[in-house]
Amino acid sequence: MNDVIEHARGRTLTEMDGVLLSTLVMNTAEGHFNEHAMQGTAFGHRVVFGGIVTSLVVGLSSDCFGENLRRDIGYPRIAFKNPVMHGDTLYARSQILHKGRVTNEGGLVRMLVQGFNQDRQEVVEIERDFILKSADGVSSVKAASGGEGEESDLIQGWR
Amino acid sequence: MKIERQNWYEDFEVGQLFRHRLGRTIGEFDNSLFTTLTLAYHPLFLDEHYAKSQGFASRLINPLLLLNVAIGLSVEDLSETNEGGAFLGIENLLFHRQSSPGVTIYAESEVVSARVAASRPQFGIVTWHTVATDHSDEQLFEFDRTNLVPRRHRT
């Protein structure tokens, strides 16, 4: 806990990703797929939909615990910091904020995930709650020193 | 005649409810494509035999795909604009149950707050609470979404 992980892989977001994924999820805002319409605007070009940015950054951050994910509980917060354009490369950094009690389903984890672009600007900040499988009743995430700290309503609700 | 797709800040009033008109059946292809393109290589989403070995009837849909579809279904009513709006963030996203490919998603949103942006008075900041349900009206997940929305009458 409290260790900051810089995840190994980066991913360049291409025009293909931006257009394919925003249309796949039926996002009708032209800012994601009409280059001509975006030319007169402050952005100047199509922008990558924030939902895609979020999903990719979370994907990049999940290499360390892959198959141990048991269940996603929710995302307390997703905040966009800077726009992402076609051609930007994203990287992920994560940090465990809190670990909860272990049950037969696994252990609750609250994780902070940050996405950065090739210029080291933060593009998104994410807090997510999920249950990780535990090995023999002990959490598979390295144990931290110190107590559990304050618990949020969400964690109490999960209990 | 030219049709406009534009949502202005003045169009929203706290408590206003929108039932977004389209639904979307999420299939195995959607789930695998979205999950692999976003590098979310979880066997629960991608490996049918693994998912069954964990006690699920079949693979699970990547929850972020569910979120993105619900947002997508709501955009036309809430946040479609070419006048400089921006997606600011999401809060309190909570999944009530997990879904497998074949589920059909519908969404409904309520305006929970609307105020002029102090630092950018040509825009308002609007928050909507969206609830996603399946075809039998069972709640799947919910979240708050906040956008910068352009004002119709610029100061």
Question: Does the CB of A94 have a partner CB in chain B at under 8 Å?
Answer: no
Strands (E), chain B: 17-19, 24-25, 86-95, 104-116, 123-133, 139-150
Please indicate whether, in this complex, the C-beta atoms of B50 and A67 are within 8 angstroms of each other: yes
Average pLDDT over residues A94-120: 93
Q: Is B66 on the interface with A (CB under 8 A)?
A: no
Find residues 83-142 of chain B whose CB sits inside 8 Å of chain A. 84, 86-95, 98, 141
Q: What type of residue sits at position A60? A: L
Contact B126, B9 (CB under 8 A): yes
- Partner-chain contact B92 A49, CB within 8 Å: no
Do the Cβ atoms of A110 and A96 come closer than 8 Å? yes
Q: What pLDDT does residue B142 have?
A: 98
What gap in Å lies between CA B19 and CA A61, rounded to an integer? Answer: 34
A27-64 residue pLDDT tens: 999 999 999 999 989 899 999 999 999 999 999 999 88
- Say if the Cβ atoms of A78 and B90 lie within 8 Å: yes
pLDDT in tens, chain B (155 residues): 988 888 999 999 999 999 999 999 999 999 999 999 999 999 999 999 999 999 999 999 999 999 999 999 999 999 999 888 999 999 999 999 999 999 999 999 999 999 999 999 999 999 999 999 999 999 999 999 999 999 997 54
pLDDT single digits (tens) A55-91: 999 999 998 887 889 999 999 999 999 999 999 999 9
Q: Does A54 touch chain B (CB under 8 A)?
A: yes
The pLDDT value recorded for residue A30 is: 94
Q: Give which of A81, A41, A64 is closest to A130, Cα–Cα.
A: A64
In angstroms, what is the C-alpha Rg of chain A?
18
Per DSSP, the residues of B89-117 read EEEEEEESS---TT-EEEEEEEEEEEEE-
ipTM above threshold 0.90: yes
- Chain A residues near residue B80 by CB distance under 8 angstroms: 28-30
Instruction: Provide the pLDDT for residue A141.
Output: 39
Residue B119 CA to residue A158 CA, distance in Å, equals 38
In angstroms, what separates the C-alpha of B15 from chain A's closest C-alpha?
A: 22
Structure tokens at B103: 């589920």
Is the CB of residue A51 less than 8 Å away from at least one CB of chain B? yes
- The angle that helices A50-61 and B28-37 make with each other, rounded to 10 degrees, is 70
* Contact by Cβ (8 Å): B91, B114: no
What pTM, to 2 d.p., does this model score?
Answer: 0.92
